[in-house]
């Protein structure tokens, strides 16, 4: 029952937040490991990020996502809410922001990207 509620919530949030496709290199720091992973940010929304990494991280893992945009560096904390394949690519991850300030920041990033492209 709990899993069904979580899935329903994620689906509702996907409809609630517009997604914008981007391509940024990222460095991801899993909370459970001292090693960071290189990857790519594929899209951003007010609720989270879509990432491609070199390996699959477990659902529930807390991560710090580091990215650089022109003139700025960012670290966005979040939690892996799903991981798997998408459109033939493996190691795709959905990262949800856990803090409201990170959601607002991501929305700002989304708005900036939308204005640039």
Query: How many angstroms separate the CA atoms of 6 and 4, rounded?
Result: 5
Architecture of domain 2-116: Beta Barrel (2.40)
Q: Is the pLDDT of residue 115 over 80?
A: no
Q: How far is CA 106 from the centre of its chain?
A: 10
Euclidean distance between CA atoms 107 and 73, whole angstroms: 16
Q: What distance in Å separates the CA atoms of residue 92 and residue 116, rounded to the nearest whole number?
A: 25
Q: Residue ranges per domain, the chain? A: 2-116
Q: Is the dihedral of CA 48, 3, 92, 76 positive or negative?
A: positive
- Give tens-digit pLDDT for 15-68: 466 776 888 899 999 999 999 999 999 988 878 899 999 999 999 999 999 988
Of the chain, the percentage scoring pLDDT greater than 90 comes to 43
For residue 67 the two structure tokens come to: 């990215």
pLDDT tens across 79-97, in order? 999 999 887 788 999 999 8
Q: What is the pTM of this model?
A: 0.74
């Amino acid at each position: 029952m709990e899993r069904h509620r979580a899935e329903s919530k994620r689906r509702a949030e996907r409809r609630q937040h517009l997604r914008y496709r981007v391509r940024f290199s990222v460095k991801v720091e899993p909370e459970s490991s001292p090693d960071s992973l290189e990857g790519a940010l594929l899209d951003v929304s007010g609720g989270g990020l879509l990432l491609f990494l070199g390996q699959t991280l477990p659902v529930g893992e807390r991560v710090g996502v580091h990215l650089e945009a022109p003139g700025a560096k960012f670290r966005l904390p979040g939690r892996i809410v799903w991981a798997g394949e998408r459109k033939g690519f493996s190691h795709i991850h959905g990262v949800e922001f856990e803090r409201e300030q990170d959601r607002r920041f991501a929305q700002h990033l989304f708005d900036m990207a939308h204005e640039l492209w």
